[in-house]
Structure 1
Amino acid sequence: MPASSISNDTDSRAVNDADRHCASNSTGLSQSDWLCLSFLSSIGPARLSRLYTYLSQLHQHVTSDQDDNLSLFHHADTPKTISYDLLRALKWPDITARQAVDYLSHGTLTKEQATKRDESLAWLEEDDHHLLLREDEYYPLALREISVAPAFLYVEGNRDALALPKIGIVGARKCTRYGRETTFLLAEQLASCGICVVSGGALGIDTAAHQGALQSKTTPTIVVMGTGLLHRYPNQNRALFDDILERGGALISEYPLSTSPRPHLFPPRNRIISGLSMGVLVAEASLKSGSLISANYAVQQNREVFALPGRLTDLQSAGCHQLLRQGATLVRQVDDILAECPELPTTGKTSARPAGHQTTKKTAPDSRSHSTQNAPALTSGRSHSLPESTSDNAKAVVAIMEQEAQPMDFDALIRHSKMDAGLMMQVLIELELYGCVENREGLYGRC
């Protein structure tokens, strides 16, 4: 790398060093440090999340006098002693690990990285601009507990909105009039009940969800952006985003401020939509819709999954119908959502709950298979191997299936495993998400 492209400003480093000593989070790194790490080559939310988790857990061990866990550190000054070997063990690429060590040891940044740091720090000086590390009091607890929780969030607007009870709403960009109008109505009713609607700010269903929430004029709405906050996307919704901020809502993102729209950045933000929420409503989706990714994340995060039914011949509702077949809660009115999430407030006007409506918790579906037509036979071919992260209960169920060597129904699996129905359903969802088990007309088998 040419010397002219390196910034090694002594004054900036001195400021950063002073800031580090004032760091209030358990990682030992300051906001400025985390910002700079997020600008490194080939970095991403998952790698930052792993480092944050490791340092936080290390801090817990240190405070419990378990100093033997410091083997990858040279001494107790965290920012200056994170080693290259540690970062490689956390699956950071070689170039990223080297840049991180150079920054933490010498304050070394490229000119581009230094510019991004300065722009970000200047942005944070403005009113209602925030950077929330995981341990910040405003960082939502529910989001903190998900897998690959963002190390930090950029927030523009009202941080207090993050503390409200939340429901995520996702769906097709090219939605039907029915989908748009029904989503608008449900979002308005949810907001009237004091529930914050969370969505992605995209055209179609997302827009209808935010607009409906604004229509209630009672509860703010939150947009989870798939870009940096300096590149609000899509451009057509700029006025909507301004409206959301003026009404006490918030725009949030895990990406650096200057991050421009890129297709691969939008799917990961869906885990934040579901992670913030008690449940996710898929309002309209085809079998190949990216909205099913949100349902998938909701399953992994143990959130409720809701689906809005449509016409049988409408391809834009085929994904919702698949979710319903797999166990999602059918939504006819807002009370169907409230009934499945007892923690949600129920103030405001809603339609009466139908007689005999059941509130038994339903299992959330997976979106791994976009089409049932191309699904493999239950017992054909070589079975997929189990990931290392597979739970012990899931391994036990797979062992039963392999021993029986034939598809088994739900009751048979319960009898053989002696698990209760709730646990069995969680295990089957886990295995379906891994692609190791498939459900064909109520019979489960290896695939």
Structure 2
Amino acid sequence: MGKKQRRMEVFDGRARYYPSDKLTLEELSYWIAFSRVMGIGPVRFQLLLDHFQEDVARAWYAPSSELTRIGLDQRTVDSFIRQRASIDPDHELERLDRLRIQVITWKDACYPPLLRKIDYAPPVLYACGQLTEDDLHYSIGIVGTRKMSSYGRQVTEHFTKELVKGKITIVSGLALGVDTVAHNTALDNGGRTIAVLACGLDTIYPPSNYHLAKHIIDSGRGVILSSFPLGIKPEAGNFPARNHIIAGLSLGILVTEAPLKSGALITANSALVQGREVYAVPSSIFSNSGAGVNKLIRDGAHPVTEVSDILEHLNIHTVPLPDASVLREPESEEERIVLGLLSREPRHIDDLIRDTELAPNIVTSTLTILELDGLVKQLGSMQYVRCT
């Protein structure tokens, strides 16, 4: 089996192709085609959407004169005209279908809401595997050096394992070192992980992590994700964009070990620019491999020594979730109303009394019964969360 075929094999099995939930296949084909055009990024693509009233086919076939009239510079227009002559939108869709790769656009409900909020969010994402609600809302990036010390490995394993216990999805870049340990530890402990690539999904980079990528997909507990279309190779200039996506998908970035010159610091800086939190595990002052982490702390990153430092700072209250198969359904209208107002975000009993418009004693007794049956949990100070 050739090397190219072997790289593509990872997308068989559990990975399935799903068309956009908001666009027709024809519309989707033009979104994909535009993602292949160098020079048409998120800002210019939005300009085209606005002018052509989201008729992407019209934008694709627009004459040069109209494109310049709406504000694209002549150099960009000329480049686009040249590139579109060699791109067949239908063929692009067929290739993705054949490889069972999902396409996620700005229009889709499963487009990660955290990523959508950042500057220059990519209009199109390519994914193998299925994103879950927890992936979309409770993800933390773990990044660091490719050349770990034993301390770096221990720290990465410890934090990953504890985050996974709290139902946090681990985001990283499939690189050697810290990234690899973070992905593997998440899977080994029954958690979920997202690997973001700096190339098209028909290439796994580094090649030595082919089996890890396959495991992420085959386990059903992870996603391989990229903003780059098929055929794009892992060139050096792509990695800052990959790091930008890692930061955008995450509530915060944890750097476990990194020297002064490390791509992990680019991810951390991208997170700061986007208003995301950056956490760093302190290293020995004599450790070159941890000098970058210590500098992050000096520059304002949050030093952390336990996972609770991260979760408390992000105000994430996690609870062990019982097996959903043994949980009963609400047995009364009061239980249905109270459960309907609860989620994994804690709510005070006073808020529940106000919003349910039920008598305080009814809300209190209902919460007590639900807690005894494992459907809700009190976190203290009369704050409740739902366990399902």
Secondary structure of the 1:223 match is strand
Change (3 A) 1:87 1:216: farther
In 2: Cα distance, 1:52 partner to 1:209 partner: 34
Which structure has more relative contact order (CA 8 Å, sep 6+)? It is 2
In 2: Cα distance, 1:78 partner to 1:170 partner: 39
Alignment of 1:392-403 (within 5 A): none
Secondary structure of the 2:160 match is helix
Superposition RMSD in Å: 2.9
Alignment of 1:211-230 (within 5 A): 211-217=184-190, 219-230=191-202
User: 1:183 — aligned with what?
Assistant: 156
In 1: Cα distance, 2:173 partner to 2:74 partner: 29
User: 1:48 — aligned with what?
Assistant: 41
The structural deviation recorded for 1:90 is: 6.3
Matched, 1:144 2:109: no
Matched, 1:173 2:146: yes
Query: Per-residue displacement from partner, 1:141-165 (whole Å, max 9, x unpaired)?
Result: 1111111110100001113264241
User: 2:215 — aligned with what?
Assistant: 243
Alignment of 1:339-354 (within 5 A): 339-342=312-315, 344-348=316-320
Secondary structure of the 1:222 match is strand
Alignment of 1:21-420 (within 5 A): 24=22, 30-40=27-37, 43-44=38-39, 47-57=40-50, 78-81=59-62, 83-85=66-68, 89=72, 93-99=76-82, 103=84, 109-110=85-86, 113-114=87-88, 118=91, 120-125=93-98, 127=100, 129-160=101-132, 162-217=135-190, 219-247=191-219, 248-342=221-315, 344-348=316-320
Contact residue 286 and residue 319 of structure 1 kept, 8 A: yes
Contact residue 189 and residue 216 of structure 1 kept, 8 A: no
Contact residue 193 and residue 216 of structure 2 kept, 8 A: yes
Query: Per-residue displacement from partner, 1:404-425 (whole Å, max 9, x unpaired)?
Result: xxxxxxxxxxxxxxxxxxxxxx
Alignment of 1:413-428 (within 5 A): none
The structural deviation recorded for 1:300 is: 1.0
In 2: Cα distance, 1:186 partner to 1:200 partner: 17
In 2: Cα distance, 1:234 partner to 1:299 partner: 27
Contact residue 158 and residue 245 of structure 1 kept, 8 A: no
Query: Per-residue displacement from partner, 1:227-265 (whole Å, max 9, x unpaired)?
Result: 111101111111111111122210000111111221111
The structural deviation recorded for 1:216 is: 1.6
- TM-score computed with the length of structure 2 as normaliser: 0.70
Change (3 A) 1:294 1:53: same
Secondary structure of the 1:159 match is coil
Contact residue 29 and residue 78 of structure 1 kept, 8 A: no
- TM-score computed with the length of structure 1 as normaliser: 0.61
Secondary structure of the 2:94 match is helix
The structural deviation recorded for 1:77 is: 5.2
In 1: Cα distance, 2:69 partner to 2:295 partner: 44
In 2: Cα distance, 1:288 partner to 1:174 partner: 12
In 1: Cα distance, 2:167 partner to 2:141 partner: 14
In 2: Cα distance, 1:242 partner to 1:164 partner: 24
The structural deviation recorded for 1:57 is: 4.8
Change (3 A) 1:91 1:314: farther
The structural deviation recorded for 1:87 is: 7.0
Amino acid at match of 1:273: I
The structural deviation recorded for 1:78 is: 4.7
Contact residue 128 and residue 225 of structure 2 kept, 8 A: yes
Amino acid at match of 2:306: Q
Secondary structure of the 2:265 match is helix
User: Please, which runs of 5 or more residues in structure 2 have no aligned partner?
Assistant: 1-19, 322-388
In 2: Cα distance, 1:92 partner to 1:208 partner: 44
Amino acid at match of 2:170: V
In 1: Cα distance, 2:212 partner to 2:224 partner: 11
